Structure 1
Amino acid sequence: MLGRYFQPNRCNAPRLRPVVRPYSTITSKHNQKIVDLLLKYKAEEEQKPDANSFKVYSFARAIHAVMNLNHPIRSGTDVVALPGIGLKITNRINEHLFDQYAQETTSEAKGAARSRFSGSKPVLILAPDSKVYQELLRNRALVVLGSVPGIGPTTAKKLVDAGCHSIKDLKSPEFSSMLTSKQAMNLKYMGHFEQPINRQDAEDVMAFCRAGLGPEFEITLVGDYRRGIEMFQEIHVMVSHPDFVHVPLPSDPPHIPAKSKTIIKKKSGRRRKDEEVRTNLLHTDILPLLQQRGLISETLSCGFTSWQGVIRLPGPEAGWGSRIHRISAVENNDGEYRKMSVHLVPQKSLGSALLFLTGDNEFHKDLSTRAQKLGMLFNQHGLWSWNPSQTESSPPNAEPRSSVETTNDGYWSLAKSTSEEEIFQELGMDFVDPTKRNFAFVSGKRRGKRTSSSYH
């Protein structure tokens, strides 16, 4: 019956409205109330000024899936595996069934049912069908626990079997000890990561970093912010310093066509010792200073030139408060928390790093393809030319991470890469404004969230 519905093209999705017949013509032999519920949610979304066409499409798919069922839905278990019905819609259906079933019990039973999910001691519920009611309770708990990022169906089932039925239960030592470190961190910041970051938040963070690091550090907001996107999920910051000049050489020779019989043999180069890896400015200055000033809350990953973690949003400068106040707030998990990445880039790679960190990934691929056709290589460290030679040599201020032997020996040399304009010129391109580099929207590739730079 919903066969007339068409999936919107992602390039112009916000302008489209799905085609669905009026309520009166959409009927279900076994689950009319649930169909009506989903139709109501769909209509409410359509009527919003900023209606999300993908949400509308999700409700329409769910309606179609429910209508095709030849048996009544008694709990979320009956719909969770249906195509087109995700976790959020399953939760809405289960909540509807829970409330509907609770209405059939006495008011005391309904209150007892509610209290179970607020941490109170469970009590005996006198219901017409206790088996169904308990299944509703169980499914509700599975959905609630599954809403924590990183907790999948298997972990949620183990927790429910152990007696955990709510987020409050999950935060107790008895059940939090069953979580991995990543799951525990997601629980700690639940409700924070789901909230988008606006441009003002990012600008406040940049101002805070500049005040804390000093004028010798050049700090630039990149990623979604530089592409002009209004709301995003992570702040990306590019940092440079006159003293950081190390430019790693590419580890691979130029692209060799498949028909070539050239044998490539890689040799693992000298690995840096652990103490050497920790001697750049990212580890000795940038991260310690930002942590001491009460910005950094957690570290998710940390490499030689990049860091990703959780920060406490400082807000406008007038509300920063004292350093002691900010550190205390982080220790007590007060305030708003978001994800941030910091990337330390060498002076000679400023242009390529700015291009790479601004994104998006589809734009990276386009630049890499253009460079490859010219016999060059583009990465976050620069635009490179291959120089065939019998004797390998290295450009100034560059250290190879590995050596490569081919039948045609040679070495990489760094082309002009200190500005984006230089790189575009080398590739024979006109300058592309950062706000026009959202190639993933043009390509129509499916993404769960806005594409950011992949340089971590």
Structure 2
Amino acid sequence: MFARAIQLKRFDAPSSCTFSSYRRFSAFKSQNPANQGIVDFLMQHKDEEDRKAKPNWFKVHAYNSAILTVSKIDTPIRSGEDLHAIPGIGARITERINDYLYKQYAQSASQDDEAFQNATRVKAKALFSTIPGVGPAKTRQLVEAGCLSIESLLSNEFSSYLNPIQLLHAKYLRNGNWFNKRRDADNVLEFCRGSLGPGYELALVGEYRRGFDSFPAVHVIISHPDHVHVPLPTSPPLDTGIVKGRGKGLSLFPTQDRRRERWLSHPENIPETLLQSDIIPSLQRQYLIADPIQVSRTSWKGYILLPDENGNAGQSRQDRARAIEKKEGRFTTLIMQLVPQKSFASSLAFYTGDDMFNRYLRTSAQQQGMLFNEHGVWQWTANEKTPLPKPSNSSELPSSEADSDSTQSQSSITQANSADTANAVDTVDPVNATATANDVLARSTQSSPSSPAEDGYWALQPSATEEEIFELLKIAYVKPEDRIGPGNWGVVKKNWKRPVSAHSESGDTHDDVPT
């Protein structure tokens, strides 16, 4: 109701406008009769959005603003280029207006008409701009070179303008629009459940879980009893005053070691986990996976062939193999995240998003002296040689410190880390043992003797549900469909400052190399 009141306050109808209510226009005349079709077209789309059970009031307001702006233009609008410099009309609505004009010209005018050619160029620019990684400069370069369709873009004449990843995106763009419906995501989830063996737990996250009707990618998190390794945070304790990197503690994703990231960019260097040994091969055997885009130890992103309405029983494997080979049917982007069982609730909250809500969760954790990431809520636990509090009995110690005495020196703890990583039953599985040993070795060699890691460790707090995570952070639970920022779920204190401890006063530094 508040958003509706704001729109009513901002709505200024011209004298030529007569309407029965704010929601439904009965008549709206343009100052130039040549633009009346555009006004009627925008009114139709506004009414369609307005009649939905949960209308997007931002879209309704955008359409109202565009209707008012177009109605005041006294010159004929011949293509979307005529609207780029006019305030009050966004890029998406400009594309829709250009598509409308393109169809009108195609039905009534020859292709030699100048207006039709302008609309064709604008339509091509809008189409190429939807290809991930293709920016305005590349789009303009393609159109000026005479490339006006996806078929032309994939030809030998223009394919050299794009890199291999951009060409891969363009190849699947011609098979339909980028957006999926909720039913499409449900079909993908059921297909994956039917293709994987017992023991796997899957959940849809991202925009689907936030209640969106359409979204560009299907995002799934997967857990299994055999995948239990929980990576330890390597950030310094939040009370040290040490800030490494841009916006430390407030960014959505932790900063990664770039050298390790480059090394893992080669498929042959990726340590094998359940994702590589079981999940991906199982989905490939059922011909769900078409082309990979990005692969890491615990995540996979790529194109898949959407299952039909009957899930995995509606098509034979031969039919799906033929469709993938010939690029027939509907394809979409699938993102899979393999998460530890102990981290399923935190991964569910983290990957549901959105970005602004995750920032709210991470900052709320900082204000409680904790750390929140996709693996859980962490409490800094001090060793006995420091005046910081001892770990409580309710805290769950990470496996690398679980078998170590709290009075050991840092060198003893490092040796215990290396030994326990290979045989810790409740933390490391055989599939992840190699990767974990490498991670522990990297942390032990990159920590200086004076680093804050000597004084304690991060302890994972038990949290089996999202509600328990919110309780640990001392904030009210927010439903997934309400996690769309900016929202009324809470206010992050802008003047909150990180407390300063003896670590920062002594001038110690810490090489922050998150896992």
TM-score normalised by length of structure 1:
0.73
The amino acid of 1:312's aligned partner reads L
The aligned runs of 1:11-50 (5 Å cut-off) are 18-21=11-14, 23=16, 32-48=32-48, 49-50=51-52
In the TM superposition, what is the alpha-carbon distance from 1:343 to its structure 2 partner? 0.7
Query: Which of 79, 83, 94 is the matching residue for 2:87?
Result: 83
Aligned partner of 2:199 among 207, 210, 216? 216
Q: How do residues 401-440 of structure 1 correspond to structure 2 at under 5 angstroms?
A: 402=443, 404=447, 405-406=451-452, 409-428=455-474, 432-438=478-484, 440=486
Aligned equivalents of 1:222 and 1:354: distance in 2?
7
Conserved 8 A contact 1:387-1:412: yes
Match of 1:287 in 2: 280
- Answer yes or no: is the 8 Å Cα contact 1:35–1:63 preserved in 2: no
Percent same amino acid among aligned pairs? Answer: 37
| CA distance 1:15–1:223, change in 2 (3 Å) | farther
Deviations 1:339-389 (A, max 9, x none): 221110123322322222233334323332232222111111121111223
Q: Quote the offset at 1:95 in angstroms.
A: 6.5
Which residue is equivalent to 2:164?
181
Of 126, 130, 135, the residue aligned with 1:146 is 126
Describe the superposition over 1:28-75 as per-residue Cα deviations: whole angstroms up to 9, x where unpaired. 8xx713542332223323443337654443344445555776876565
Instruction: Choose which of 297, 302, 307 in structure 2 pairs with 1:304.
Output: 297
Q: Distance in 1 between matches of 2:256 and 2:287?
A: 44
Judging changes above 3 Å, is the alpha-carbon distance between structure 1 residues 322 and 140 closer, same or farther for their aligned structure 2 residues? Answer: closer
1:207 alignment partner in structure 2: 190
Provide the secondary structure at the position in 2 that maps to 1:220: strand
The answer to whether 1:162 aligns with 2:145 is yes
Cα distance change on mapping 1:102 and 1:224 into 2, 3 Å:
closer
Larger mean CA deviation between 318-327 and 397-406 belongs to 397-406
- C-alpha distance in structure 1 between counterparts of 2:201 and 2:208, whole Å: 17
Structure 2 portions without partners, runs of 5+? 19-27, 246-254, 386-408, 429-435, 492-515
Q: Which residue of 2 aligns with 1:365?
A: 359
In the alignment, which residue of structure 1 is the partner of 2:176? 192
In the alignment, the residues of structure 1 paired with residue 17 and residue 220 of structure 2 have an alpha-carbon distance, to the nearest angstrom, of 53
| Structure 1: runs of 5 or more not aligned | 1-7, 114-124, 126-132, 446-456
Cα deviation, 1:366-425, whole Å, max 9, x if unaligned, reads: 332232222111111121111223544469637546355139732212221344344344
CA gap 1:322/1:157 in 2 versus in 1, 3 angstroms: same
Counterpart contact for 1:278–1:284, Cα < 8 Å: no
Residue identity in the other structure for 2:61 = Y
Match of 1:249, SS state, is coil
Instruction: For 2:98 and 2:116, locate their aligned partners in 1 and report how far apart those are by CA, in whole Å.
Output: 7
Number of aligned residue pairs: give it. Answer: 408
The TM-score, its normalising length taken from structure 2, stands at 0.66
Alpha-carbon distance between aligned partners in 1 of 2:258 and 2:78, rounded to the nearest angstrom: 62
CA distance in structure 1 between the partners assigned to 2:243 and 2:120 by the alignment = 59
**Alpha-carbon offset, residue 270 of structure 1:** 11
CA distance in 1, matches of 2:196, 2:178: 29
Amino acid at match of 2:43: A
Instruction: Classify 1:228/1:15 alpha carbon distance in 2 versus 1 (closer, same or farther; 3 Å).
Output: farther
| Per-residue Cα deviation, 1:56-109 (whole angstroms, up to 9, x for no partner) | 433444455557768765654433232333445445655777788899xxx8xx
Equivalent residue for 2:344?
Answer: 350
SS in 2 for 1:164: coil
Residues 318 and 213 (structure 1), Cα distance of their counterparts in 2 relative to 1, 3 Å cut: closer
Aligned letter for 2:347? A
> 1:137 is matched with which residue: 112, 117, 138?
117
- Give the RMSD, CA atoms, in angstroms: 4.2
